[in-house]
Chains A and B, each alone.
Chain A
Amino acid sequence: MRPVTMEIGRGGEAWGGAPGVGGEPQFHVPPHFEARPGYRWALVATCCLLMQSGVSAQRPLGEWARQAQQRVVKIYGAGGARGLEGYQSGVLVSPDGHIATVWSYVLDVEPIVLLDDGRRFESSIVGFEPTLELAVLKIEAADLPYFPLDQSATVEWGDPVIAVSNLFNIATGNEPASVMQGMVAARSNLRARSGTFKTPYQGEVLVLDLVANNPGAAGGAVVDFRGRLVGMLGKELRDAETGVWLNYAVPAQTLRTPIGNIIAGRSTTLTPKSIVELPRSDAHNFQTLGLIMVPDILETTPAFIDHIAADSPAARAKLRPDDLILLLGTQRVDSQRGLRQLLRTIDRRDAVSLTIQRDTEILTVELRP
């Protein structure tokens, strides 16, 4: 049990005291609130109270919701066929237009991003983290409202949250994203249910008691009552055994470092670091590694393995048919052709590190010549 009064008391100490303790509220607070910490405490306490009781004829969530909507974007990309929506959601994580979202087929083309203010941007993919199904996009814009990730924001079960996303692509044209309210039902580990949920992500999730994870909601924001990003909505997940759909978010804490690394260029990059191609006879290729890929029939045929040559580096690394190659070293493999080009930059005497997806697992293996 987490009695409300305790919650308010804890809040009072944290926010009524010296600024900075426990982090300042991220949203704009009118000056007269700043000057009167007591008043601000009352505001937060009331907000908390209302959320905990779940009801109010008094104070709507308007400002809270509005601030969060301004930090959520609509993303349009590949897809559009039935069951494959060509849209998802994303959250602004820097004032310069960095957007965190989920890694999905929608990003198979450079996506279009629509901001809350109605502006439309072409975006580029900065990088992604396959184990988290996380991607970071960048648009050319400045002074945007955003969720800072440098403050630690944790939520526990029973904490009120709102989820903001463009689920079902309801927000037509310049309409703002949809807002839903509820609570964190649990913090739990997806790994505990390994095999029943088909996802490469095996870490901790916030289980939500609101029906947040609908088509197009992935990449949306879960925001605590102080306006901080506490999680990012994941893709739709269904328990393979029971057919139950999971409503969940990946905690912002889990995403913070990877997002920072991608933005700082310390992580997966999409453009090859070295574009120096070695002579064909000195570089790796599919044959040197023992990889037999699926027929390359598309411009961007996914880098699926069709067969493994016996007694090859690939065979020794226990690669299998149907493995999908995601990364070579830290560089993203966007297609079979892209992989071939990347291999041209590696000396065939060197080992090759591949990150692959096998069903829902993400594995990194080293292929030694």
Chain B
Amino acid sequence: MSITASDSRSPQSPSSVGRGPRVHCLWNLQVQLLIALVCGWGLCGSLPRGETAEPLTLDPRVAEVESQRIEAVARAMPSAVSVFVPGGAGGGSGVLISPAGFALTNFHVTSPAGTYMRCSTSDGNVYDAVLVGADPVGDLAMIRLLGRDDFPAAEWGDSLAAEVGDWCMVIGNPFLLAGNLQPTISYGILSGVGRYQYPSGTLLEYGDCLQTDAAVNPGNSGGPLYDAAGRLLGIVGRCSFEKRGRVNVGVGYAISAEQAQNFLGCLRSGRIVDHATLGATVTTDEIGGAVVSNILESSDAFRRGLRYGSEILEIDGRIVATANDVQKVLATMPSHWRIGLRYREQGETRDTLVRLSSVHGPDELLVKMAGAMPPPPPRPPAPGRPPGGEGDEGAPHPHADERATEEIPAFVAEQIVERKGYANYHFNLLEQQRFSDALRSQFPGNQPGDSPAWVITGETVEDSPQPVRLQVVAGQMAVQIGDRPLVAGSKSELYEAVAAQSVAGVLPALDAWRRMIANGPQKFGESYYFGTMPLAGQRPLRDCLVGIDGELEIRWLSHPESQLVEVIEVFADRDSDPAELWLMRDPADADRPQGFELRYGTETRWKVNIESWELVDPSALTPLVKEET
């Protein structure tokens, strides 16, 4: 056995390739591979050189390490997805993250496809898939593979704990090689963690990403980066290419699992999701520290006391020491999140909560996206096409050339609803329905269509408690503390209650809740499922439904497991603090709130223990006299 001998037996010079048939060349390659493999085993084994006749024995440590790697690959591979854009418009990779078929990929992989694509997994099956949500700035997209409810989902790894030098692997569809539906695996180490990669073009920004020397090539985009145990560390999506052409030069980047998980809920909403900004710019001070160099007075950070020259110490529990650190943490978050902020202002360290705003204006993101968007998506099916045309993926396509104009199968089209501002409104409708079903099934829920009215009694929590009576009836909203009634008959009075940060700010929150239960999101006003966000900086991420009622914007935040509403926020003005109605629950009887708190900013305005909360017949109530002011 020697390399030289094999070389001489299998000349690879152009002349021999030209002379012989192509098959011959392939065979030679196989021989070489085989010999290389045997040489490889020789490397690892303890046999002296040349004694190939003996059975190979492995050092047990090598055997253990190898078997661990084999196990990790076996664990990871089923969740890797190869994405193909119908019509041969390219493709990429993806990774399954739920048994229901939800998978992550890159926005730039899905954008040529529009809303419909085909995906294969290592089991050799091809599935139809639809776009769910898009994060064009972070280059993430969620898709859903259809046809099963038991897809193999990847297990999440901890990208914040990942370190330089950790072994890792990339599994995907480089150069769209997965024509045989088998993904390609490349192996390497993490070359860098917590990398910030400047925006490329107008949109993409990779904040806090992972860098690997495992080969990442065109077509790997959107695919998984797994750790050595086969857990999902990130979504591969970008490489450093330069003069050597679009092939790997040892540098690939992955969006961190941390960032991807932050966006999961928002992507699931079917929306086009924007990224977050603090409303302030930051520079790195010469003696260290991230110092505010500019701040918008309309930002929540300004309202929470952040000023020019303040030093930012921690964001969302992560220590930041430079402007780069600040940008990295913020780049991993969707807009509208409310997170913890620790800063130093005039020698005093303060902990507070800030609401992040959007990087882009309402239509700005859509305009930029349209600029980055390739051709229009495939059309929905023509009317009259009989349903049930699915299930022929296994068979060879009779007219492969017609795929370019292929229509979306009817059962797939049912999962696609186009609407401005949404990647796929279908999924927002699903989540709205789920959320409102949960609202109706919990206290003080009701049947759809019924217009409930509530009377809530209790007493204030203070040194000398006063009796409280709340009347939540359409057009007759009132709060009575002791003998003093406050009545809000009109929308503008409800708006004023929030704008003036009065105790009557509970009324629009309760009224919106009552109306959402009665009417559902479709009739409430303009409503949408936001996705998930922290509750006052705390995990787990809460489900969030947004309803817009005239000038008021209302957000319901509910616990992801119990689905119980925890906070209702009412914004009268985007640039001022909302009224926050915090429902206090006894873990023993969580369904029924025991009390509530009304907060503005980070201050508690009012706290009430609830004694009774009753459904009443509005006509039986005596009208309260509005107090003259």
Interface positions of A (Cβ within 8 A of B): 1-5, 46, 49-50, 52-58, 60-66, 69, 83, 118, 158, 162, 167-168, 170-176, 178-182, 210-212, 214-215, 245
- Chain A hits for B16, CB < 8 A: none
| CB <8 Å contact, B43 and A1 | yes
CB-defined interface of B249-261 with A at 8 Å, one 1/0 digit per residue? 1110000000000
Contact of A62 among B165, B196, B228 (CB under 8 A): B165
How far is A58 from B67 in the complex, measured between Cα atoms in Å?
A: 11
B62 touches A58 (CB 8 A): no
Known: A3-B42, A56-B167, A210-B250. A174 touches B322 (CB 8 A): yes
Complex Cα–Cα for A214 and B248 (A)? 11
Query: Does B318 sit within 8 A of A, measured CB to CB?
Result: no
Q: How far is the CB of B247 from chain A (nearest CB, A)?
A: 10
The residues of B that contact A64 with a CB separation of less than 8 Å are: 165
In the complex the two chains form, what is the Cα distance from A270 to B334 in whole Å? 54
Which residues, 182 to 240 on B, are CB-close (under 8 Å) to A? 187-192, 194-198, 211, 213, 228-229, 240
Chain A residues contacting B284 (CB-CB under 8 Å) are: 173
Contact of B250 among A5, A55, A180 (CB under 8 A): A180
Give the residue of A52, A53, A57, A175 whose beta carbon is less than 8 angstroms from that of B72.
A57
**Are the C-beta atoms of A65 and B164 separated by less than 8 Å?**
yes
Query: Which B residues between 244 and 294 are near A, CB-CB below 8 angstroms?
Result: 244, 248-251, 284, 288
Please state if A179 and B249 are interface contacts (CB–CB under 8 Å).
Answer: no
The answer to whether B165 and A57 touch across the interface, beta carbons within 8 angstroms, is: no
* Residues from chain B with Cβ under 8 Å of A2 in the complex: 43
Q: Which residues of B contact A49 (CB under 8 A)?
A: 59, 61-62, 65
Q: List 6 A-B contacts (CB under 8 A).
A: A61-B164, A62-B165, A65-B164, A174-B324, A176-B164, A176-B192
Residues of B within 8 A of A215 (CB): 242
- In the assembled complex, how far is the CB of residue A160 from the closest CB belonging to chain B, in whole angstroms? 11
Which A residues lie within 8 Å of B164 (CB)?
61-62, 65-66, 69, 176, 179
By beta carbon, the residue of chain A nearest B67 is A57
B167 close to A60 (CB less than 8 A): yes
B419 at the interface (CB under 8 A from A): no
**B484 at interface by CB-CB < 8 Å:** no
Is A170 a contact of B251 with CB atoms below 8 Å? yes
Compute how far the CA of A2 lies from the CA of B243 in the bound complex, rounded to whole angstroms.
35
Contact B165 A55 (CB under 8 A): no
CA distance A69 to B211 in the complex (A): 15
A173 touches B324 (CB 8 A): yes
B125 within 8 A of A: no
Closest B-chain residue to A181, C-beta based? B189
The total of chain B residues at the interface (CB under 8 A) is: 52
A4 and B242 form a contact (CB under 8 A): no
CB <8 Å contact, B251 and A62: no
Whether B228 lies near A56 (C-beta < 8 A) is yes
Contacts of A170 in B (CB 8 A): 192, 195, 197, 211, 240, 251
The 10 closest A-B pairs by CB, nearest first: A211-B250, A61-B165, A65-B165, A57-B68, A173-B324, A180-B213, A60-B166, A57-B228, A62-B165, A178-B191
Q: Which residues of A are found within 8 Å of B474, using beta-carbon distances?
A: none
Interface centre among B188, B192, B229, B244 (most CB of A within 10 A): B192
Chain A residues in 8 Å Cβ range of B45:
3, 5
Please name the residue on chain B nearest to A46 by beta carbon: B61
Which chain B residues border A61 with CB–CB below 8 Å?
164-167, 189
Q: How far is the CA of A212 from the CA of B249 in the complex (A)?
A: 8
Q: Decide if A4 touches B165 in the complex (CB within 8 Å).
A: no
**Contact between A179 and B242, CB atoms less than 8 A apart:** no
A261 to B379, CA, bound (A): 73
Asked if A178 contacts B251 (CB within 8 A), the reply is yes
Q: B48 interface residue, CB < 8 Å from A?
A: yes
Whether A179 lies near B65 (C-beta < 8 A) is no
A-B contact sample (19 more), CB < 8 A, given A4-B44, A212-B250, A214-B251: A1-B49, A3-B45, A3-B47, A4-B59, A54-B187, A55-B167, A65-B189, A66-B163, A167-B250, A170-B192, A172-B197, A173-B196, A173-B323, A175-B196, A176-B164, A176-B192, A210-B213, A211-B250, A214-B240
- Are A214 and B249 also in contact (CB < 8 A) when A1-B49, A56-B68, A58-B65 are? yes
Q: A117 → chain B, closest Cβ, in Å?
A: 11
